Amino acid sequence: MTTNREIDAVTGVETTGHVWDGIKELNKPLPRWWLLTFYATIVWAIGYWVVYPAFPTLTSYTKGIWNYSQRETVAKDVSAARSAQSGYRDKLAATPLDDVKKDPDLLRFAVAGGGAAFQTNCAPCHGRGAQGFAGYPNLNDDDWLWGGTLADIEKTLQVGIRSDHKDARATQMPKYGLEKLLDESQISDAAEFVLKLSGQKFDAAAADRGAKTFTEQCAACHGPAGKGMQEQGAPNLTDGIWLYGGSKAAIVESIRTGRGGVMPAWGGRLDPVTLKSLAVYVHSLGGGK
Ligand code: HEC
Ligand code: HEC
């Protein structure tokens, strides 16, 4: 290696004087702006280490001279939010369910809180938008199995449906097929009559036979015209809204098994203010009476 600097003939740039195997290295120093930026970042980093928490120590970490802590900031924000909320929570606890909507701020608080509690507790069964699934009712429409007033909804939440709560909403449709209360042809005929009630295609002769069974067996819960009865949780069979499905096969299955959907009681599990918020939220979804 020699150290003769020279001007490279091809590029016109000075070489460093380093030559390997006849290959010469051009002298291309880093641009000044780049170097200055680089040094500035080092200075910045050192400043950062000094003022902010930076390095782990054996048991803790360097706190920095500003003593900054995100954890404390969050804790402060949370406690500020809690105390802002507690005013509303106390107010909600003291306000009768029907009066909540008279106070727009309180209503907004209840709907927001109820919506959040819904996503956590109810969405797995009723869907994130409360749209429901087969066997799990849609809570947005104004078709109610057990009633759609605020008080009805709150009671449904409180005691559940066929739950283990002692005051649960408990009416159960008989398992006509499983318990051999009706034979297969009677069930099929009754289903034809339900098809007729719901305005679908039906077999006239079978539906006539089914009508008799319906009056004897079904009207007590579903009403003589099949319009349902909320005290029994018995759905309206004429409105085209089905919990389990409106095909012949689904109707036969409902009559055979009695279905008997179960909704847990939330009374002991959620605090009264959350329950109230949930009732207000569900009522606000559109179908509230
Ligand atoms: C384990 C599943 C499940 C969970 C969780 C659940 N539900 Fe239900 N819910 C049901 C079923 C099933 C029914 C219908 C029961 C029946 O067949 O009558 C129902 C019915 C209802 C009804 C009555 C609807 C009507 O038409 O009268 C309301 C209101 C309701 N649920 C609200 C809620 C709320 C609010 C929550 C959350 C706190 C919740 N549900 C959580 C399964 C569930
Ligand atoms: C003791 C009351 C009771 C009697 C009697 C009764 N039902 Fe029901 N029926 C119910 C209830 C309650 C439900 C809802 C079940 C559920 O929510 O899981 C229901 C659900 C149904 C469904 C499903 C509706 C849907 O939306 O998917 C059909 C169909 C039906 N009943 C038809 C009949 C027929 C036909 C008879 C007579 C043979 C009958 N029911 C007798 C209470 C009754």
**Ligand 2 within 6 A of 255 CB?**
yes
Max mean pLDDT range (20-24, 101-105, 159-163): 159-163
**Ligand 1 within 6 A of 261 CB?**
yes
Note the pLDDT of residue 86.
87
**Ligand 1 within 6 A of 283 CB?**
no
Closest ligand 2 atom to residue 213 Cα is: 38
The arithmetic mean of pLDDT across residues 229-252, rounded, is 96
The arithmetic mean of pLDDT across residues 127-148, rounded, is 93
pLDDT tens, position by position, 190-214: 999 999 999 999 999 999 999 999 9
User: Which residues have a Cβ under 8 Å from the Cβ of 44 and sit 6 or more positions away?
Assistant: none
With bands split at pLDDT 50, 70 and 90, how would you rate the model's confidence at 137? very high
**Ligand 1 within 6 A of 173 CB?**
no
Q: How far apart are CA 260 and CA 164, in angstroms?
A: 13
With bands split at pLDDT 50, 70 and 90, how would you rate the model's confidence at 275? very high
pLDDT tens, position by position, 54-87: 999 999 899 899 988 888 899 999 999 888 888 8
> Which ligand has an atom closest to residue 139 CA?
1
pLDDT tens, position by position, 5-31: 888 888 888 888 888 898 888 988 899
Note the pLDDT of residue 3.
61
Q: How far is the CA of 16 from the centre of ligand 1 (A)?
A: 81
Note the pLDDT of residue 18.
87
Is 172:250 a contact under the CB 8 Å cutoff? no
Nearest CA to ligand 1 atom 2: 125
Note the pLDDT of residue 17.
86
Closest ligand 2 atom to residue 245 Cα is: 27
User: Which residues have a Cβ under 8 Å from the Cβ of 76 and sit 6 or more positions away?
Assistant: none
Note the pLDDT of residue 266.
96
Q: How far apart are CA 118 and CA 157, in angstroms?
A: 11
